[in-house]
């Protein structure tokens, strides 16, 4: 598929999924690139984020036959917004399309702080929503203390890789991660800073985690739900804390509620704390987060882990691959030819 | 049943329960009153506490054909412990018996601080473990702020009545309680300081609570589990907090795990905090708690709500009655003739 410069392409959902979604549920729709109205700027998009929560939105929140929402980075190519100039780099949420009209400070759109030596794509990965999720969960929800041990589920994914990078900077003790393949498990311990890792296909999460963390855990960042949540609860020590950020393993069963763990009453007997985290409640921490992380990105102490698919035409393919767990680090799509 | 002054009577469990326990699972066993060994004091017990957690202990923790544990108040009648003198009033955990050998500062035994104008029994109710449970849950777990609304399940019980009394002193907003009979519901709003209450037999807890707290709730103190936990989660506002202190409704089903709520994922979507509380972790707060509460007990601003059964011979009857919910306030047993 190719598109002329004067054509905007939007991805639209055309039907609701039953179980695992397919490419046939989406259409690429062409229309003329719009002119910016007064107070808006026209952005040509360069990077797109595809995320587990999009799967949840497909069941009801995404309107059919309409543009979708998604975290995106682009460059202003025409502006009638006094807050944005041509050439500015902008983060916004009008994703899944080649162009968008945005207004600085509205609906999450903001000019990004550009940092020498930091790749642009980092603004959608370690400096983006997944990184901020990890930062909020570690510093606000768990209040991780130096030396404390941490379990991370879906550890090779966007939030999981960011969690390991940030937890190390905070002085975490033992880091244990779970993932869905032997290759990912090797990558977790070989490259991503985990002390131990396991493939959750190899048995019960509770038992695998007990082997990987025989002395128990102070904290957990839960990203999967179901057996992973039960396994974390079983292996937390007394007064352990769990930050619950998502249920990527449950999004394909929207017709039935996510399985609740059988050992839930351990919350009482072990005096555990379980707390939900929604990153959308913490935009005010973005600057603090960047001030904390950017020096480490520049020095090379941390890496913005990402799997990047090239070409907007492949955004649906990238999304489905992310749902199948094909990415290590954040799954991103890059405009063809963009560095 | 009568006993000579030189006879000690202990209640012993003789078999494990299947479902709701019966009096036939217990025996009253006589033996000579022991002489205190060096370092111990002989206590004649005056008040006994029977508690929901005893039901849980019947499944495995209580040894068969052996004395049981329970919170008790007694008077020293002979002492070879330099820390205790004849006549001293002592709290200890060697319950379910007429006499006990204790050592000051060991196994939870301590000389109680006696307060003019405060009835002795208050040390096992509002000033005892149930009151301390409520105090810890409100001030440490929930950190209840003035004006915040609170739901309390099993609101007419020992922890429930103490929670309402203490929450009012802390400036709580709307107080909503659940109980198991129309008479209790009337008592909750008529005498115990609740703004609204419902009988959980009248429908789904989620819907009944939504009617009683149409604007939602900031906090909940959960004492029942199952439908009550689900109802609380459903009616908490975003960023709501839940202190989970017990599952009195679940103790009769030890062969199956307590039902987990179907709406557990609301913890994530509403950014809720759920935290377990075990009062046994907070003995160091007992003095702070008494300093806070005793002036209000003396002034009459709060009452130590209790249902008192007279006669040690009726301790099993009192325990089973408590499990059936026959008490309002803490269920206590008083030695015959004791005021």
Q: Which helix (H) or strand (E) is A5 found in, with range?
A: none
Give the SS3 label for residue B203: coil
* A268 vs B246, B264, B271: nearest CB: B246
Please give the mean pLDDT across all residues of chain A.
93
**Distance (Å, rounded) from C-alpha A275 to C-alpha B182?**
35
Segment B8-14 shows an average pLDDT of 97
**Distance (Å, rounded) from C-alpha A135 to C-alpha B110?**
46
Task: Specify the CATH number for the domain of residue A61.
Answer: 3.90.180.10
Q: Give the Å distances, CA to CA, from B69 to A280, B12, B52, B73, B280.
A: 49, 10, 13, 13, 14
Q: How far is B239 from chain A (nearest CA, A)?
A: 9
Where does the pLDDT of residue A163 fall: very low under 50, low under 70, confident under 90, or very high at 90 and above?
very high
CB atoms within 10 A of CB B280: 11
The pTM assigned to this predicted structure is 0.88
**Distance (Å, rounded) from C-alpha B8 to C-alpha B10?**
7
Q: What pLDDT is recorded for position B250? A: 59
| A187 & A224 share domain | yes
Where does the pLDDT of residue B59 fall: very low under 50, low under 70, confident under 90, or very high at 90 and above?
very high
Q: pLDDT above 90 covers what percent of chain B?
A: 86
Residue B253 has pLDDT above 60, yes or no: no
Where does the pLDDT of residue B251 fall: very low under 50, low under 70, confident under 90, or very high at 90 and above?
low
B191-213 confidence digits (pLDDT tens): 999 999 999 999 999 999 999 99
| A104 & A44 share domain | yes
Residue B130 has pLDDT above 50, yes or no: yes
Q: pLDDT above 90 covers what percent of chain A?
A: 85
- Exposed (0-12), middle (13-18) or buried (19+): which is A195, by Cβ within 10 Å? middle
Residues of B in contact with A254 (CB under 8 A): none
Give domain status of residue B83, yes or no.
yes
Q: Would you call B231 an interface residue with chain A, using a CB distance cutoff of 8 Å?
A: no
| B94 & B220 share domain | no
Span of B8-12, B53-57, B87-91, B329-333 with lowest mean pLDDT: B53-57
| B103 & B135 share domain | no
Segment A257-277 shows an average pLDDT of 88
Q: pLDDT above 70 covers what percent of chain B?
A: 95
Structural domain count, chain A? 2
Give domain status of residue A118, yes or no.
yes
* A261 vs B260, B266, B269: nearest CB: B260
A268-324 confidence digits (pLDDT tens): 999 999 999 999 999 999 999 999 999 999 999 999 999 999 999 999 999 999 999
Q: What pLDDT is recorded for position A2? A: 45
| B276 & B134 share domain | yes
| A245 & A137 share domain | yes
In chain A the beta strands, taken as DSSP E runs, fall at 7-13, 26-32, 41-49, 72-79, 89-92, 99-102, 110-111, 150-152, 175-179, 196-199, 217-222, 236-244, 273-276, 306-310, 330-334
Segment A94-109 shows an average pLDDT of 94
Task: Specify the CATH number for the domain of residue B267.
Answer: 3.40.50.720
Q: Would you call B262 an interface residue with chain A, using a CB distance cutoff of 8 Å?
A: yes
Which value, to the nearest 10 degrees, does the dihedral of the CA atoms of residues B218, B223, B225, B231 take?
Answer: -30
Q: How far is A279 from chain B (nearest CA, A)?
A: 10
Q: Would you call A288 an interface residue with chain B, using a CB distance cutoff of 8 Å?
A: no
Give domain status of residue A243, yes or no.
yes
Q: pLDDT above 70 covers what percent of chain A?
A: 95
Q: Count how many pairs of residues, chain A against chain B, have C-beta atoms within 8 Å.
A: 80
Segment B7-36 shows an average pLDDT of 95
**Among B180, B220, B224, B221, which residue's Cα sits nearest to residue B202?**
B180
Q: What pLDDT is recorded for position B80? A: 97
Give the SS3 label for residue B318: helix
Q: What pLDDT is recorded for position A1? A: 39
Task: Provide the domain limits for residue B228.
Answer: 129-280
| A250 & A321 share domain | no
Backbone φ, ψ for residue A263 (5° rounding)? -100, 25
Please give the mean pLDDT across all residues of chain B.
93
CB A332 within 8 A of CB A127: no
Give domain status of residue B49, yes or no.
yes
Query: Chain centroid to CA B262: how far?
Result: 28
What is the helix, strand, coil percentage profile of chain A, to 5? 30, 25, 45
**Among A319, A296, A269, which residue's Cα sits nearest to residue A56?**
A319
| A141 & A275 share domain | yes
Where does the pLDDT of residue A260 fall: very low under 50, low under 70, confident under 90, or very high at 90 and above?
confident
> Last residue of some domain: A242, A265, A280?
A280
A3-12 confidence digits (pLDDT tens): 445 899 999 9
Where does the pLDDT of residue B338 fall: very low under 50, low under 70, confident under 90, or very high at 90 and above?
confident
| B274 & B148 share domain | yes
Give the SS3 label for residue A315: helix
- Exposed (0-12), middle (13-18) or buried (19+): which is A214, by Cβ within 10 Å? exposed
Residue B37 has pLDDT above 60, yes or no: yes
**Distance (Å, rounded) from C-alpha B308 to C-alpha B330?**
8
Give domain status of residue A309, yes or no.
yes
| A158 & A262 share domain | yes
Backbone φ, ψ for residue A197 (5° rounding)? -155, 160
Task: Quote the DSSP letter at residue A339.
Answer: -
Helices (H), B81-181: 129-136, 158-169
Span of A21-25, A248-252, B9-13, B122-126 with lowest mean pLDDT: A248-252
Task: Quote the DSSP letter at residue B174.
Answer: -
Q: Would you call B234 an interface residue with chain A, using a CB distance cutoff of 8 Å?
A: no
B136-150 confidence digits (pLDDT tens): 999 999 999 999 999
Q: Would you call A269 an interface residue with chain B, using a CB distance cutoff of 8 Å?
A: yes
| B177 & B317 share domain | no
Residue B248 has pLDDT above 60, yes or no: yes
Residue A339 has pLDDT above 80, yes or no: no
| B102 & B157 share domain | no
Give domain status of residue A46, yes or no.
yes
Give domain status of residue A287, yes or no.
no
Give domain status of residue A185, yes or no.
yes
Where does the pLDDT of residue B6 fall: very low under 50, low under 70, confident under 90, or very high at 90 and above?
confident
CB atoms A277 and B268 under 8 Å:
yes
């Amino acid at each position: 598929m190719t598109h002329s410069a004067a054509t905007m392409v939007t991805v639209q959902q055309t039907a609701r999924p039953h179980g695992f979604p397919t490419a046939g549920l989406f259409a690429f729709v062409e229309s003329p690139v719009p002119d910016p109205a007064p107070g808006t700027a026209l952005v040509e998009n360069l990077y797109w984020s595809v995320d587990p929560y999009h799967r949840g939105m497909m069941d009801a929140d995404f309107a059919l036959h309409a543009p979708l929402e998604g975290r995106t980075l682009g460059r202003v190519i025409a502006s009638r917004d006094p807050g944005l100039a041509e050439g500015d780099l902008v983060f916004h949420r009008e994703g899944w399309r080649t162009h968008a009209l945005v207004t600085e400070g509205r609906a999450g759109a903001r000019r990004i702080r550009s940092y020498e030596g930091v790749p642009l794509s980092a603004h959608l990965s370690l400096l983006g929503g997944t990184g901020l999720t990890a930062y909020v969960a570690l510093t606000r929800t768990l209040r991780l203390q130096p030396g404390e041990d941490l379990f991370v589920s879906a550890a090779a994914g966007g939030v999981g890789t960011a969690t390991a990078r940030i937890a190390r900077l905070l002085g975490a003790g033992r880091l244990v991660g779970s993932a869905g393949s032997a290759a990912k498990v090797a990558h977790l311990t070989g490259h991503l800073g985990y002390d131990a890792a396991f493939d959750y296909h190899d048995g019960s999460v509770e038992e695998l985690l007990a082997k990987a963390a025989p002395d128990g855990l102070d904290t957990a960042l839960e990203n999967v739900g179901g057996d992973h949540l039960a396994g974390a609860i079983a292996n937390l020590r007394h007064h352990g804390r769990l930050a619950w950020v998502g249920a990527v393993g449950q999004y394909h069963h929207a017709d039935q509620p996510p399985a609740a763990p059988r050992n839930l009453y351990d919350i009482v007997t072990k005096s555990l704390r379980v707390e939900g985290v929604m990153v959308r409640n913490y935009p005010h921490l973005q600057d603090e987060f960047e001030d904390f992380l950017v020096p480490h990105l520049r020095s090379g102490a941390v890496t913005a882990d990402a799997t990047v698919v090239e070409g907007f035409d492949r955004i649906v393919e990238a999304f489905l691959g992310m749902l199948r767990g094909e990415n290590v680090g954040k799954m991103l799509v890059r405009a063809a030819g963009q560095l």
